[in-house]
A = this chain, B = another copy of it.
Amino acid sequence: MSTILKQPAQVVLIGAGKVASHLLLALLQAGQPVLGLWSRSRTSAEAATAAAPEVPVLSNLQELPPADIYVLALPDAAVPEVLAAARFPAGALVVHTAGALPLSVFMAYPNIRGGVLYPLQTFSPGRHIEWATVPLCLEAADAAGLATLRQLAHSLSQDVRELSSAQRLQLHMAAVWVSNFPNHLLGIGHALLGGAGLPWELLHPLIRETLDKALSQPPFTAQTGPALRHDAVTLARHEAALAEHPAWQALYRQLTASIQAVAATPLANNRADK
């Protein structure tokens, strides 16, 4: 089990959520055999394998087939539960896919070899993901495990990196700032625009240009708007226009203050890390 694989890794998937469903199809497309998929909910397992009927639904965590890698594509809290409940072959390579869960989650299980395969992307049902460009962040408790993970990862993506648990947590947190939080603000803009009877498409060119700009220079140096200009008249007009949404009015003030605070630091002009 400590030799580097010459053949495609044989995978068992644990989980049937968004990551598991996307990963299943990507693995099959990459020619990695998937020996089976287990989920606590048999209905979910059947839904996840509906597009891949050749993959059997596994019914018993105590009788998993031998495989090169067991991939736990599960919510963070479910990983320790499955580790406690499952019976893996001795020395099995078991990896999770979570950004914020340290490798040490495997430490209580000395009979398995732990690892991490964290795909840095947001997955939704029905949306196609270009796996070749998804950064895959790897970590493993031993060199052979890392080698097997590398081989698997390279079959999926051109962007494979080895990250420590601490780096992965920082990356996962940064991902919240650039994905979950901006999406929420886009949602507020969408709701406000709809409330004013204006079409969402009106803002699309602005949103695209904002993004293109932020990806081509350090975003703090691309900042514009009334907060940055300390344009008190416009800020007051906007706050007044938010009178019906007191929570968003408070958030508007906090974001404005944060923009002004950053502008008063060297960060606002720091192009060194571009």
Contacts and interface: CB of A to CB of B under 8 A. Distances in A.
B120 A202 contact: yes
Interface in A199-251: 200, 202-211, 213-215, 218-220, 222-229, 231, 233-234, 237-238, 241-242, 247-248, 250-251
A171 B187 contact: no
Contacts of A228: 180
Nearest to A236: B100
A183 B210 contact: yes
Nearest to A131: B205
A214 B183 contact: yes
A6 interface: no
B223 A184 contact: yes
A167 B198 contact: yes
From A184, A198, A231, name the one whose CB has the most chain B CB atoms within 10 angstroms: A184
A169 B241 contact: yes
A273 B203 CA distance: 15
A233 B77 CA distance: 8
A178 B186 contact: yes
A214 B167 CA distance: 28
A251 B257 CA distance: 10
22 contacts: A75-B229, A77-B231, A100-B226, A120-B206, A159-B205, A167-B196, A169-B237, A170-B193, A177-B188, A177-B189, A178-B185, A178-B190, A180-B227, A180-B228, A183-B223, A184-B259, A188-B262, A190-B273, A200-B273, A207-B214, A248-B258, A250-B254
Contacts of A92: none
Interface of A: 75-77, 100, 120-124, 127, 129-130, 133-135, 159, 161, 163, 167, 169-198, 200, 202-211, 213-215, 218-220, 222-229, 231, 233-234, 237-238, 241-242, 247-248, 250-252, 254-255, 258-259, 261-262, 267, 273-274
B171 A181 contact: no
Given A174-B189, A242-B173, A121 B209 contact: yes
Nearest to A229: B75
A255 B181 contact: yes
A231 to B, nearest CB: 6
B202 A234 contact: no
